Amino acid sequence: MKAVLPAAGFGTRFLPLAKAIPKEMLPLGDKPVIHYVVAEAVAAGFDDILIILSRGKEAIPTYFTPNPDLERHLEQIGKTRELAALRELSRLGRIHYTYQPAMRGLGDAVRQAKEFVGNDPVFAVLLADTVMHGGSPLPAMLAAWRQHAQPSVALEPCPAEKVSRYGVAGGRQLEPDVFALAQLVEKPKPEVAPRLLDAAGATLPYHAFAARYLFTPEIFDCLDTTAAGYGGEVQVTDAMEQLRTRRGFLGVRWPGRRLDIGHPAGLIEAARLLGEA
């Protein structure tokens, strides 16, 4: 199966550092953040991967492209542990790259994957600046796809004062952790943000989109007719709302946590939690 990892963008929340170093290449232990995201995709069965780059992100392909000279050198000097780590890296699925020509938003970045995805029935999108702690939501999203044949987004609870930073879901519980969505809104004000209801109709806390998506290729038709939205950018959330009206859309809760490393405090928190794991 195929996965798309948007890793374009200026990294404004991590400036000035992100001017020279892609935020996706910042270290968590001895590996860059994007390594964990690729490994998560591959572990869930998405081993054909397209990374969407922008200018200045060349360190990402450099990291994943095999370096036979370095491998030979490590072999000669007997650094077997390091050699094994490099060889493991080249077994991390097939990785392809494309560029988003201009920074027009996440929806526009995903649109760059249209030819790569082709007619596959379903594909995953993983935001490359976010690692998941306590397991990936992708297996549960795939199970929901098999059960309902609908696309989905991972959901996590979100305090009211933060809903205007995220995509927010409204809808009704179908299964303990699966919701039939009725509204998908990008960065709403808390007073108009949608809510999830449990199976008995009781209102649940706000739930935000958590950086993992399972789409059908119809999302590309929806993106083609999505005008610029929040922040003057093409929002993938607006295309998801269109897709919902065409074939339904699920929200999937999972027991883990989204760790956004796109800003300094998030990276420090992720390093602390992974150190404890």
Q: Which residues form the interface with ligand G1P (CB under 6 A)?
A: 106, 127, 166-167, 186, 208-211, 237
For helices 68-76 and 80-90, the axis angle rounded to 10 degrees is 160
CB atoms within 10 A of CB 18: 22
- Beta strand extents in 47-204 (DSSP E only): 48-53, 94-99, 123-126, 130-133, 152-157, 167-175, 178-186, 196-197
Q: How far is the CB of 221 from ligand G1P (least distance, A)?
A: 20
Closest to ligand G1P by CB, 216 or 237: 237
Q: How far is the CB of 203 from ligand G1P (least distance, A)?
A: 20
Tokens representing 231 are 């922040």
Tokens representing 154 are 């991972």
- Name residue 268's beta-bridge partners: none
Closest to ligand G1P by CB, 82 or 256: 256
Closest to ligand G1P by CB, 34 or 208: 208
Q: How far is the CB of 161 from ligand G1P (least distance, A)?
A: 15
Closest to ligand G1P by CB, 44 or 106: 106
Q: How far is the CB of 201 from ligand G1P (least distance, A)?
A: 25
Closest to ligand G1P by CB, 42 or 208: 208
Helix/strand number for the chain, H first, E second: 10, 14
Q: Which residues contact 96 (CB under 8 A, 6 or more apart)?
A: 48, 49, 50, 51, 116
Tokens representing 103 are 């920074």
Q: How far is the CB of 81 from ligand G1P (least distance, A)?
A: 35
